[in-house]
Structure 1
Amino acid sequence: MKHLSRLLLASLFIFGLTNTVSAQDENNPWTVSIGTNAVDSYPANEDHKFQEFFNVDNWNILPSVSRISVGRYVGAGFSAELAGSINRLDNIDKQPVDDLTYYAIDGAVNYSFRQFINEEGWFDPFLGVGGGYTWVDEEGNGTVNGTLGFNFWFTDNIAFNLQSTYKHSLDDKNEGGFRHFQHVAGIKIAFGGTDTDGDGIYDDEDECPETPGLAEFNGCPDSDGDGIPDKEDACPDQAGPAEFNGCPDTDGDGIADPDDDCPTVAGLESMNGCPDSDGDGIKDGDDNCPNEAGPRENDGCPYEDRDNDGVLDKDDQCPDVAGTKANNGCPEVTVEIINELNEYSKTILFDLNKATIRTESYDALESIAEIMDEYPNTVFHIEGHTDSSGSDSYNLKLSKERAASVRDYLVNKENIDTDRVTSEGYGETRPIATNKTEAGRQKNRRVEVSLEKNRD
């Protein structure tokens, strides 16, 4: 018996260190109880029922571990228990006896009232009914049992157990029956809870019962070790601070990587974490000129002004030739240029009474074309004029044909755009000298260049 006591005490110590479950329930279905029992027959005697119930002088106690039981939770507050006990009787009904040996095996169904008081509280009263078989020395008889008991759960898995069981013998005293109370005091340990994920935290307390986790997070994992459980971590595989819901901010710009379009380069919140080095509102990755501010429509680059005339190329109709803003970046034709054109036009010669240009005039026409090329958005007007010799109709027809002949040469031979040159003949209606002298008539027979916009 001495060795049994030591074994039971060692088992109690191990259970106390290793089990983390709470009171017996569906998650912790098994219990082991180890304790001492006291046997008292006096208050069970029909002649003095319940008298001296608490008189310990009448109790028979074996000063060692003398009772052990195993229980299994059934459900809805019910549990089944099987107990074995041993004792030594030195009195029965206050009458001394010669150290009779007492053995008992009992089974019971217990009902806990803890759920009605506080389901997670420390106070756990219960009632039990059952039956058993008791031996006093060689004599044995069956009993019907009723139990009132209390479990006091003072740790997560260990309770102090007090209970008293009335064992009513089916035989009366004269027939060898032994009716008595058995009082028990001991330790009850609940165990056997389910730990599906094997993390040491039973399912009833595990918020993540199918995934191994940590006790500090109620059984949930923290895969990246950032102190935020995976179930609350927006980036469970990357360590990050709580302010970013567990996500990192690699570039330290205050924007968590999942929300940062440029997670490795510090940037602006307005640019979704990307930089805008030139401050033009276009993030560097989309900016063809990240270090020079420019509009979005030009891909973040400033517009050029190749001819440095103060008109940006995008608005400059003559981006390679300096001009004026008033003329959309193109040079404006001055009086001097018109005079120069007409100096060349004076040398244009035609066959007699014809519109055919003579070959010696080609150089003058080439020079005229070169000047026109310098003013690419200017429309020039070729005027044909005659003296007063001949009829008006003839002179008008001839002037038109000669003006058209010059225009056709500039378009077809010198590649001037057709929409940049117009022509018209005015016959003898616009003399610049007198027609009464040969010298005057020679001046009136002419081709002139003017601006289309100045044409009458």
Structure 2
Amino acid sequence: MNFNNIRVYFALFPILLCTAVSAQTVDSRFVAGLSAIFMDYQGPISGDYLQYKTFSPGISVSAHGYVNPLLNISVNSAFVPETNYPLGNGEFLSTAVTDVNLVGQFKSNNGKIFKEQAFFAPYLSTGIGLNAASNNLRWYVPAILGMRFRINQHVSFNLEGAYKFAIDGKQQHIAYSGGFVFGLPSNQPSQRPPQNRPAEPSQLISQADKQLDTDGDGIPDVDDRCPEERGLVTFFGCPAPEESNEPPQEAPKPVYAETSTEEVVIKPQPLEEPEILDNTLTKNSQPSQADIDFLAEAMDNVYFDVASNELTPDSYKVLDRVAEILKKYPDYKLKVSGYTDNQGGEKTNKILSVTRAFNVKRYLVYQKDIPLSRIISNGYSSAKPIADNSTPVGRSKNRRVEFELVR
């Protein structure tokens, strides 16, 4: 084995890895992988599958496509610059090997065994593969056991062990690999399917009342970006900037803070008025009954991710129509009211209802050019239920955002 080649390979590997990292973006149904692979043909012959001296290092690249919560489709390609390839009768050929396979990856983080965003996610893969060594081409069926460790929403670390059954009964071999997978670039919104109606955080975070709040601003340290400085919900727990009145460009995550049982009005910091491009508005017009009916029904079609104030992709279609209606009637303002069911504590539901209504307002202002002064948003927790909170169906109806045109 040529160890100079091996040293060159390991010198190039970090460079390739850094190149892959810099090319990634968030939230995609497709990911790419880069791994170190160690291949052995002698283990299956001798029965010693862990004799490291017989393993030959190489590099592997892969692409993975999301099919559904249970299944991914993966294409993997590996190159080993030098290995001992068996020719039969105890003879081996020192040669480079190229290996390609197409497999289905059956995941355990499918929402039933582990959550989709779980840190630890075992999986099984099988399919069809082909390896080429010198003039020898061999088809095989891989049996792969893998383990994926989620580092963050963009990057995961993979470990795999594979036994590759040669279809012609010869040249069975084993391979071990370890490397990273990264989200591929995408300009599309999250493809997660909308929930029928999300559960409240009180149903999922049972220890919210016990979270530490060092600076005493009512925002627990786990959600506070400035845990040692008193701040505002709008600025993720940080003080308002002195030189800018703009809040952060991304929507704030839900926070769980101490509030009183009285109705609380949480006012975000002032936003900048966007430039209005539509100069065709007609004043003194009265809303049509069709538009009023649409706004009344819109609350049944605006969804949020589970235990979150983030809007799902399907909600934007409804909000786009709400913006069109608002532009038709410049003499009117839009009142956006957020509500929850009665499950859990009032303090948690109050914050969630306020931030959900505020994120609707943020979208209409920044994405649809609606003047800030024309939208009034607030949250009312579990007040004013429209259905029976003692049943799951009733609670689902009570988790809503309502729209109303007002003078």
* Larger CA Rg, structure 1 vs 2: 1
TM range (shorter): 0.3 to 0.5
Q: Which has the higher strand share?
A: 2
Indicate the structure whose relative CO is greater, using CA pairs within 8 Å and at least 6 residues apart.
2
TM-score (normalised: structure 2):
0.45
